[in-house]
Amino acid sequence: MTELKSRNFKRLYKKEIADQKLRANLKKATIQASDKRNDSFAEVDFNFLRNEAKKIKQESVSHLNDLLSQFEDRAHKNNCTVFYAESPEKANAYILEVARKNAVKKIVKSKSMVTEEIQLVPFLEKYGIETVETDLGEYIIQLAGETPSHITAPAIHKSRTEIAQLLHDKIGIELNDDPAFLTGEARKALREKFLSAEMGISGANFLVAENGTVVVVENEGNARLSTSAVKVHVVVTGIEKVIPRFSDLRIFMRLLGRSATGQKLTSYVSLIRGPRTDKEKDGPEEVHIVLLDNGRSRLLGSEHQEVLHCIRCGACLNVCPVYRNIGGHAYGSVYPGPIGSLVTPLFFGPENAPELPFASSLCGNCTEVCPVGISIHHQLLAMRQEIKSETKGGLEKFVFKNFRKTMLRPQRYRLFSRLARIFSSTPIARKAIKGWTDYRDLPQLPSRSFREIYKSNKGKG
């Protein structure tokens, strides 16, 4: 694995926050997505669905080992091969082996965050296997040589003019930023790839333990083609995607589309049971299911277990004031935004993302919209405490210790607030907290405190 960029959060976010165009693109797209989400939930009982989803996820995660065994057993009966990968390296090596055994030269791939997590595409390309992203957003990002900047909308940071220019430069189409034209041209280019690829790779939104079904939810039909028009299909997903019953899907299907894109239901829901049978005309001859751990099982029984409930809808990113201003690349991780600030240190180790849990205003917007009821801002707070107790806290600990003392002693409080009022009106104050004031105004403190005003007005009626 290459070194994670999330260690360089400070440097990355400074670059992104200075990009006015990026901020305008992000703001427009995230506000639109949140509005659509809110409208779509107006007609259903969000709190009821969320409670149900939370209960199912709690049950799934607390019985994870049993459910995974049950899923594996059913998937074998459905003629699939299941492979448990402890690490990205093991997952990649297995997928390469499958590709080599089948003499694969070209792979079509649908959207999957786990394949980004294990950096599968660059790995396969290193071994000379062409691997084409077929989700439109991912295709754009691949052509641009970038990484996704959002969980469900990988190219959210790009305007349609930028996309038109990119497709013009990379695949030689006419320069025209009409979305229908651009989609049509991308479809033509991808169609040829679908027809010539030997292998397809997809993620999975859910794995049903009861009957071994792999559920893939999408809007463009590319995942269906990547999983059915090829000889070999490989599913790559995290172990936490397993749910107990097929009937549980009725809850998640109503939450996922609405939370992600404001749709009542996504355009395609593929239920994959296994390779094609003798009676079927199409479908893959082999189906492999790679279940990635990569730090997930470490969370079982811990304070952070509920992070495994995430269904990667991206709603928490769209409402996050920090994400809206800095975008996904600033996090330096595959998983950006509030949930990314949790899973990155949890999956890859806090030493690889020591600053991400602090990239939050703790406003709680993320928790409010989460369809599976993860208490994201409380989780972030707990992560901060863990990181600070490991690093001893430095200056911050000193400041808060003294802040506490001041708040507990009225005389000391009065003295310091008087000094603060005098100090805040001097240019030195702005200099002293430079960094904080780069992107905010320093509020001017009033010249007299409430107590002083009250005292001088007492008895005046």
| Number of Cβ within a 10 Å radius of residue 180 | 8
Pick between residue 80 and residue 151 the one whose CB is nearest to ligand SF4.
Answer: 151
How many angstroms separate the CA atoms of 221 and 99, rounded? 23
How many angstroms separate the CA atoms of 38 and 341, rounded? 24
Is 140 in contact with 154 (CB distance < 8 Å)? yes
How many angstroms separate the CA atoms of 110 and 90, rounded? 21
Is 375 in contact with 306 (CB distance < 8 Å)? yes
Nearest to 371 by CA among 33, 51, 6: 51
Is 256 in contact with 248 (CB distance < 8 Å)? no
Where on the chain is the footprint of ligand SF4 (CB under 6 A)? 151, 259, 310-316, 339, 369-372, 374, 376
User: Which residues, listed in sequence order, are joined to residue 108 by a DSSP beta bridge?
Assistant: 132, 200
CB of 53 to ligand SF4, least distance (A): 9
Pick between residue 75 and residue 366 the one whose CB is nearest to ligand SF4.
Answer: 366
CB of 354 to ligand SF4, least distance (A): 21
Query: Where are the extended beta strands (E) located within 163-231?
Result: 199-202, 206-208, 213-218
Pick between residue 234 and residue 383 the one whose CB is nearest to ligand SF4.
Answer: 383
Pick between residue 99 and residue 242 the one whose CB is nearest to ligand SF4.
Answer: 242
Pick between residue 143 and residue 320 the one whose CB is nearest to ligand SF4.
Answer: 320
CB of 21 to ligand SF4, least distance (A): 26
| Number of Cβ within a 10 Å radius of residue 371 | 26
CB of 261 to ligand SF4, least distance (A): 12
CB of 244 to ligand SF4, least distance (A): 18
Pick between residue 68 and residue 339 the one whose CB is nearest to ligand SF4.
Answer: 339
Pick between residue 26 and residue 311 the one whose CB is nearest to ligand SF4.
Answer: 311
| Number of Cβ within a 10 Å radius of residue 98 | 18
Nearest to 135 by CA among 13, 75, 220: 220
CB of 213 to ligand SF4, least distance (A): 21
Which residue type is seen at 253?
Answer: M
CB of 137 to ligand SF4, least distance (A): 16
